[in-house]
Structure 1
């Protein structure tokens, strides 16, 4: 089975009780909200990754104000010809503050829209699991910088 490691950096940006999210598509093509951010390029520092990805997906320039934590997820995905891939995602979650730029949607990228959402409405959105993990890190600031899974 093929193995794939992806390291990515994301930011929790909260302003006036609203969370900045970017909209992508799930495997079936249905829209879902995620944190702005994405995969590191080879040789890129994660701090630089989150700055680059935020500007690409939202139009904003941000200042990283802290590292909230690290999330790790492992999944198997089916591929063509009966093959599958063992995917391991390592996701660094930063806290960010918007310092410039204008809200805009990404074109020709992995997301198609960026928007601010009231924190109270986020649980009802179609969203990826990382959003909940990141909000827990942001609210609770656990000393181990990770969210314990229910079975741990």
Structure 2
């Protein structure tokens, strides 16, 4: 099976990180950065702009990479490498009425460094990268839901 490439946005605004819940019907309490699978023939930043808009209604400017995360699901053989980019919002705001056209993301919210400690978030290093402004790499971990 081939490795899937995905892009994710690290958007910190007013010292709060944007997170989404990408489990239809609120099946899980796991939060992550907005983004998704890359399509062939389109640059990673273009893929990320499309995915963030679909999931949040926000238009973004994509900055430099800040984290690489990879995970797999041993039973199915699924393996994904995610490249996280620092991004800024150029248009729009989070609102409850926004509907993800693929009906995957059902919740979105900004959280502070303190609030994120009370949430289940993947990858594990996301908060550190977002709030400490470092660069990170999370080696292969098993997929959780």
Do these two structures clear the TM 0.5 threshold for a shared fold by scoring above it? yes
- Looking at structure 1, the residues matched to 93 and 67 of structure 2 have their Cα atoms a distance apart, in angstroms, of 27
Stretches of structure 1 lacking an aligned partner (at least 5 in a row): 78-84
C-alpha distance in structure 2 between counterparts of 1:75 and 1:148, whole Å: 14
Aligned twin of 1:5 = 3
Query: How many angstroms apart in 2 are the aligned matches of 1:35 and 1:140?
Result: 15
The match for 1:114 among 96, 108, 111 is 108
Are residue 133 (structure 1) and residue 122 (structure 2) matched? no
- 1:103 alignment counterpart: 94
Which whole-Å deviations, capped at 9, do the CAs of 1:35-78 have from their partners, x for residues lacking one?
Answer: 1000112222111111111111111111112111322223313x
Specify the alignment match of 1:38 in structure 2: 36
Deviations 1:60-100 (A, max 9, x none): 111112111322223313xxxxxxx2111110010011111
In the other structure, the counterpart of 1:82 is: none
- Distance in 1, matches of 2:134 and 2:60, equals 20
How far did 1:141 drift? 2.2
Give the Å deviation of 1:123.
1.8
Q: What are the superposed Cα offsets for residues 96-131 of structure 1, whole Å, 9 maximum, x if unpaired?
A: 11111232333342211211112211121133x22x
| Cross-structure match for 2:53 | 55
8 Å CA contact retained: 1:9, 1:94 = yes
Of 79, 94, 107, the residue aligned with 1:88 is 79
For residue 121 of structure 1, give the secondary structure of its aligned residue in structure 2: helix
Larger radius of gyration: 1
How many residues end up aligned between the 2 structures? 135
Partner Cα separation in structure 1 for residue 67 and residue 120 of structure 2: 23
- Tell me how large the CA RMSD over aligned residues is: 2.3
